[in-house]
Amino acid sequence: MKARAFSYFRAATIDQALDAHARAGDDARFIAGGQSLVPALSLRLQAPRLLIDITHIDALRGVRRDGGYLRIGALTRHCEMLSEPLIAEFAPLLHAAAPFVAHPAIRNRGTFGGSVALADPASEFPAMTLALDAEIEIAGASGGRRIKADDFFLDLFETALQPGELITAVFVPLFKADQRFAFDELARRRGDYALVGCGMLATFTGERVDDIRISFFSVGNTPTRVKGAEATLIGSSLDAERIAAAQAALEGDLAPPDSDEVPPAMRLHLARVLLGRLLGRLGEGA
């Protein structure tokens, strides 16, 4: 199928993009990598009258240190998560997740900001912004703001973004020497969306966990932090008993949706298996 006819506008600045969106009202969409939007247009799940191409806006590009944060521009491509040295050093969880996002050619065009804006509950990066305690920077007609990832994902494909607002960057606290991370997912085929996926970031004193943030994807309507499991692990040295307690806590943290393909009980089981595996790796210093 082919997309319904639309007009195309290439924005050179954030203001131009916001302005064009305001003038077109609900009938406009921003296009970044297009790796989710173009299929949606071809299937006519969406039929906006105007596409606003944001990929030529320089202010949305680049990765740099900004105080205690790494500022990752919205247009940072998935492949740059693998090639950019600042990401490997200061946001290694994103570096670890990137190879699981789609296939190489899709990673060459898909953008970090597009993935976070879309908020697909099966996507790797939105969930990782939760584990990382990241902040999303947003530009809109009424000015700019920064919002915690914890407050950003509201429901299925629904975020704190208002119509016409643009994600400009994501701020990730710099990875520190006393921190460890782990990431993995279970999928039927490499590059497919995960049946269950998980990433975590923990701060240690010696072998004791002082703080831990664990985020799952493909287990509900939004990326999901598992606060019950996190709480059982604080103060732990990640021994078998505490890991088992965290796995048990998932029952209260997660409520996988019913689906013909993967029954909720199976998804919960897979989540426990994955959590055990990742905490084991974290305990070994990985």
Partner 1 sequence: MNHSDETLLDDADETVRVRLVVNGRKVACEVAPRETLVDCLRNSLELTGTHAGCEMGACGACLVQLDGRAVHSCLMFAVQADGAAINTIEGLSDSGLIADLQAEFHRRNALQCGFCTPGMLINAHELLSQVAQPSREEIRDALSGNYCRCTGYEAIVDAIDAVAKARSAGGGAT
Ligand X SMILES: Cc1cc2nc3c(=O)[nH]c(=O)nc-3n(C[C@H](O)[C@H](O)[C@H](O)COP(=O)(O)OP(=O)(O)OC[C@H]3O[C@@H](n4cnc5c(N)ncnc54)[C@H](O)[C@@H]3O)c2cc1C
114 binds, among ligand X, partner 1, none (CB under 5 to 8 A by kind): ligand X
| Contact between 165 and 139 (Cβ < 8 Å) | yes
Binding mask 49-88 for ligand X (x = CB under 6 A): -------------------------x--------------
By CB under 6 A, tell whether 223 contacts ligand X. no
| Contact between 75 and 51 (Cβ < 8 Å) | no
> Could you count the other beta carbons within 10 Å of the beta carbon of residue 285?
8
| Count of residues in contact with ligand X, rule CB under 6 A | 28
The alpha carbon torsion through 243, 249, 253, 259 (nearest 10 deg) reads: 90
By CB under 6 A, tell whether 115 contacts ligand X. yes
Interface with partner 1 by CB under 8 A: which residues?
1-10, 20, 23-24, 27, 31, 34-35, 38-39, 41-43, 49-51, 53, 55, 79, 99, 102-106, 108-109, 189-191
130 binds, among ligand X, partner 1, none (CB under 5 to 8 A by kind): none
By CB under 6 A, tell whether 98 contacts ligand X. no
By CB under 6 A, tell whether 110 contacts ligand X. yes
Residue 44 Cβ, how far from ligand X at the closest point, in Å? 15
Residue 273 Cβ, how far from ligand X at the closest point, in Å? 20
Q: Which residues bind ligand X (CB under 6 A)?
A: 29-37, 39, 74, 101-102, 106, 110-111, 113-115, 117-118, 120, 123-125, 166-167, 193
